[in-house]
Amino acid sequence: MTEAAPARRALVIAHDADGAGCRVEERLTQRGFDVHTHFVVVGDDMNVAMPFPDFDDFDLIVPMGSARSLTRKNEIDTWIHDELDRLADAFAAGQPILGICFGGQLIADALGGTVEVAEVTEVGWYEISAPDGGHNPVGPGPWLEWHHDHIIPPPAAEILAVNENAVQLFRVGRAVGTQFHPEVDHAHLANWLAEVPDDYLAECGVSVEQFLAEAKQHEQANIVQCYALVDWFLDSVGLLAS
């Protein structure tokens, strides 16, 4: 009897305790991946980090979002430069990388782009489209946005989707970065909101009740489009797991 090939391995990098891959991880598992989640920061001190695993042990790297900012690297300098170097090395070695929000910003920074404080903070559900009438491979959404910084893609990047405020999806070789959060569902978002100061969303012009109601309204459609995004990424970079 022929032995089954070992499952491909995906490394999800969660930069915060509530930053796991959620629906992205779910879809990777459904597509036959053995998913390992590495939590970078597990306590209250953002500069006390767990050692990264060896990226070479994985077929796919998925850096997720974070409350941190690449415009203030001095606040996370015990681990951020290590992660950026590892991502650059993984890209050079041909490993596929799917970066989500902060993870997309990491890809941009590691590959010659940069990250800047955004003129417009996006918190809520936004539609995106291809620039210049091109093809947006992941659909218009709406997608959940929650970011204060925005991506300046590397010079070699193909910009696949934007909105009026920011680059939302880009690709460089086998690396893809999003500015939006495809992974969220209502429960995930509720956990995030539980950690937010009471006046934060008010400053952003959003109420907790409105945010959660919209999350519930969009939840099922977002799961479908999240799965489709993961499928598009896997197929386009040649990771044809089941």
Asked if the peptide bond before residue 142 counts as cis, ω within 30 degrees of 0, the response is yes
Residue 15 lies in domain? 8-185+222-236
For residue 192, being part of any structural domain is answered with no
Band of pLDDT at residue 78, cut at 50, 70 and 90: very high
Residue of 22, 25, 101, 147 with catalytic role: 101
As a whole number of angstroms, the distance between CA 93 and CA 78 comes to 24
As a whole number of angstroms, the distance between CA 13 and CA 9 comes to 13
Provide mean pLDDT across the span 76-95: 96
Annotation marks residue 22 as catalytic: no
Helix, strand, coil share of the chain (percent; to 5): 35, 25, 40
How many residues in the chain?
242
As a whole number of angstroms, the distance between CA 175 and CA 87 comes to 10
DSSP string, 146-197: EEEEEEE--TTPEEEEE-SSSEEEEEETTEEEESSBTT--HHHHHHHHHTS-
CB-based contacts of 135: which residues, under 8 Å, 6+ apart?
160
Confidence at residue 50, expressed as pLDDT on a 0 to 100 scale? 92
pLDDT at 228 over 70: yes
Confidence at residue 76, expressed as pLDDT on a 0 to 100 scale? 92
As a whole number of angstroms, the distance between CA 106 and CA 83 comes to 8
Can you read off the two tokens belonging to residue 193? Answer: 């909101």
Tell me the per-residue pLDDT of 1-57, one tens digit each, with 9 for 90 and over. 455 567 899 999 999 887 788 999 999 999 999 999 999 988 778 888 999 999 999
Lookup result for tokens 């695993």:
53
Annotation marks residue 36 as catalytic: no
* pTM exceeding the 0.85 threshold for the entire prediction: yes
As a whole number of angstroms, the distance between CA 240 and CA 242 comes to 6
For residue 75, being part of any structural domain is answered with yes
Residue 176 or 16, more confident? 176
pLDDT at 106 over 80: yes
As a whole number of angstroms, the distance between CA 10 and CA 34 comes to 6
Tell me the per-residue pLDDT of 143-156, one tens digit each, with 9 for 90 and over. 999 899 999 999 99
82, 113, 146 from 73: Cα distances, Å: 12, 15, 19
Helix (H, G, I), strand (E, B) or coil at 108: helix
For residue 61, being part of any structural domain is answered with yes
Residue of 25, 183, 218, 226 with catalytic role: 183
As a whole number of angstroms, the distance between CA 42 and CA 178 comes to 24
When divided into structural domains, the chain yields a total of 1
Can you read off the two tokens belonging to residue 120? Answer: 């417009």
For residue 83, being part of any structural domain is answered with yes
Can you read off the two tokens belonging to residue 134? Answer: 């091109």
CA angle, 211 as apex, 205 and 216 as ends, to 5°? Answer: 160
Residue of 15, 147, 181, 188 with catalytic role: 181
As a whole number of angstroms, the distance between CA 94 and CA 116 comes to 27
Confidence at residue 4, expressed as pLDDT on a 0 to 100 scale? 55
What CATH number should be reported for the domain holding residue 96? 3.40.50.880
